[in-house]
Structure 1
Amino acid sequence: MDDSLSDLDRIKDEIADSFDEELEMEMDESRLEALLDDLSDHPDREALDRRLYFRELFRLQHELVVLQDWVQKQGLKVAVLFEGRDSAGKGGAIKRITQRLNPRVCRVVALPAPSERERTQWYFQRYVPHLPAAGEIVLFDRSWYNRAGVERVMGFCTEEECEEFFRSVPEFERMLVRSGIILVKYWFSITDEEQQFRFQMRIHDPLKQWKLSPMDVESRRRWEDYTRAKEDMLERTHIAEAPWWVVEAVDKKKARLNCIAHLLTQIPYQEVARPEVVLPARVRHADYERHPIPPEMHVPELY
């Protein structure tokens, strides 16, 4: 009975989290504070936890905006790699990082499976064009480490190709760092039980079923193979110039906050003074006339 109640509570949390994603996108901080103030005396722990989560999220996102301005002003080049098992929460963390940033400064790279031509290229070649230029932050939602993970486990590369990757990647990353790129690597870690639960949620949620590919389903069966591949990867590619950072991600909200807070410590930054913005008076002309838009061009107002 206790287990059933626990599962029910987790399902409620998962559904609430889906709504939270929409709330975060729609609510600005002041409106959120007004809403949460109404819950300040609420005895339910969940409401208090969500209050803390939102407050910390907005505080950290404000710092990310400050960091963005500093990266742009100083011409820094930042590349952040997000790796982890399917459903580990990489995409959710990336979404919270980019949510309030300028997409011209901070962009996400999520490459599809390589084409036939790309399979014949130097392995790192298709990633190089996406590396940051001065004043840019690039977030890789999976990266060249596909070779050490899914490609190795699913047999999309040979053991010889994988060994060559392990020989090359430390030198490749040292070269990136020497060239001035700030390289940060995150592994999002979840338990076997948590991945099972999240996959079940995706199966039964029509809004999330698209996230569950045949490859994801197969990854469940090969959990232990992925574990061995992950351990080998972390051991052989954890270098001083570009170390791995492991994010405990069973609790999605804590993982997002911890990841963002840590990322902010990896790049020393200062607030950039902004000139005061003053809107000029609109120019008005006596002969200006705004013409009505034909009714058939309007989107129907269903709401």
Structure 2
Amino acid sequence: MAEFDLEDLERISKSEEIIDLLVEKGIIKEKKFLEQLAYEKELDQLQKEMLRLQEYIIQQGKKMLIIYEGRDAAGKGGTIARTIAKMNPKHYRVMALPKPTELEQKEWYFQRYIQNLPRKEEIVFFDRSWYNRAVVEPVFGFCTAEQHETFMKQVNPLEHLIMEDGTILIKFFLNISKDEQKERLDERKEDEMKQYKIGGLDEQAQVKWDDYTFYFDKMLKETSTEKSPWIEIRTDDKKTARLETMKYILNSVEGFSSELKLTMNSDVLKIH
């Protein structure tokens, strides 16, 4: 093991420098810790790049909408939280709309979502979106078959109009295996800090797995277009999934050049 001397001590000014020095000196060797350290470093770099991207969006007067859909416990909220961690909160919004009010139920289905589209110089993150009508609502009978089919006919033209108006649109579908989903849902029940995530529909996620699969497959097949494809991310490994979503975002804005070498993981990411 290398010696630790006064000169080394003088080099330290930040907590991450302490960790780097401990690794360099061979004081920390555990593989699991080193893997976590590598993840934290890459995450930090990507988060800083997300801030640079946001600054580019502001400077260029652009607007961006990022949709996160997926199975329960696939990590939508956690992925969004890591993505926005270093961004300027004045120029982004995270929208997780509650169930529609009585008044909203009388309006055009898309209306309440359209009211929350991004303005110029803004990025909006939809934690679930209008695609509730593609999957959740038909699975639980919250809409009629006719309403579902009407949605499926309208959504592609609507998204194309939004993009033609200048909005950069990205759609992520976060997927997870049945076993991993069960493990995470069980963990939510046991962890007091995660119990707030448990909703009434979560209890049915495993029971209705096949129903969800049918409608997810239909959604991916019928609402993925050349202009607006679905980006499927496998999230059994949460950390890798978070990194891949940010890499994809950073690679998706025309005119923006990341300072990082962004190589996508084809084992995790699939474009439909």
Task: Give the superposition deviation at 1:36.
Answer: 4.5
- For 2:55, the aligned partner's letter is D
1:86 aligned onto 2:51: no
Q: CA 1:177 to 1:208, structure 2 compared with 1: closer, same or farther past 3 Å?
A: same
Residue number in structure 1 paired with 2:22: 38
Aligned pair partner of 1:127 in 113, 134, 143: 113
TM normalised by structure 1 equals 0.78
Point out where structure 1 has 5 or more consecutive residues left out of the alignment.
1-28, 272-303
1:137 aligned onto 2:123: yes
Point out where structure 2 has 5 or more consecutive residues left out of the alignment.
1-12, 259-272
The 5 Å alignment of 1:254-265 reads: 254-265=240-251
Task: Give the superposition deviation at 1:219.
Answer: 1.9
Residue number in structure 1 paired with 2:270: none
Q: Distance in 2 between matches of 1:173 and 1:93?
A: 23
Q: Distance in 2 between matches of 1:220 and 1:227?
A: 11
Task: Give the superposition deviation at 1:35.
Answer: 2.7
Q: Distance in 2 between matches of 1:30 and 1:245?
A: 37
CA contact (8 A) 1:148 1:162 kept: yes
Matched position secondary structure for 1:107: strand
Q: Distance in 2 between matches of 1:39 and 1:228?
A: 48
1:220 aligned onto 2:201: no
Matched position secondary structure for 2:111: helix
Q: CA 1:241 to 1:30, structure 2 compared with 1: closer, same or farther past 3 Å?
A: farther
The 5 Å alignment of 1:1-303 reads: 30-40=14-24, 41=26, 42-268=28-254, 269-270=256-257
Task: Give the superposition deviation at 1:270.
Answer: 4.9
Q: Distance in 1 between matches of 2:237 and 2:20?
A: 21
- For 2:168, the aligned partner's letter is I
Q: CA 1:31 to 1:241, structure 2 compared with 1: closer, same or farther past 3 Å?
A: same
Q: Distance in 2 between matches of 1:105 and 1:36?
A: 33
Matched position secondary structure for 1:221: coil
Matched position secondary structure for 1:130: coil
CA contact (8 A) 1:39 1:47 kept: no
Matched position secondary structure for 1:104: helix
Matched position secondary structure for 2:126: strand
Task: Give the superposition deviation at 1:267.
Answer: 0.7
CA contact (8 A) 1:36 1:51 kept: no
Task: Give the superposition deviation at 1:194.
Answer: 0.3
- For 2:171, the aligned partner's letter is K
Q: Distance in 2 between matches of 1:155 and 1:187?
A: 22
Q: Distance in 2 between matches of 1:151 and 1:116?
A: 16
- For 2:102, the aligned partner's letter is E
CA contact (8 A) 1:78 1:132 kept: yes
Q: CA RMSD in A?
A: 1.4
Matched position secondary structure for 2:73: coil
Matched position secondary structure for 2:98: coil
- For 1:68, the aligned partner's letter is Q
**What number of residue pairs does the alignment pair up?**
243
Task: Give the superposition deviation at 1:210.
Answer: 1.2
Residue number in structure 2 paired with 1:292: none
Q: Distance in 2 between matches of 1:37 and 1:225?
A: 52
Deviations 1:223-277 (A, max 9, x none): 1100111000000000111110011100000000011011100013158xxxxxx
Task: Give the superposition deviation at 1:62.
Answer: 1.1
- For 1:141, the aligned partner's letter is D
Matched position secondary structure for 2:170: strand
- For 1:85, the aligned partner's letter is R
CA contact (8 A) 1:72 1:136 kept: yes
Identity %: 40
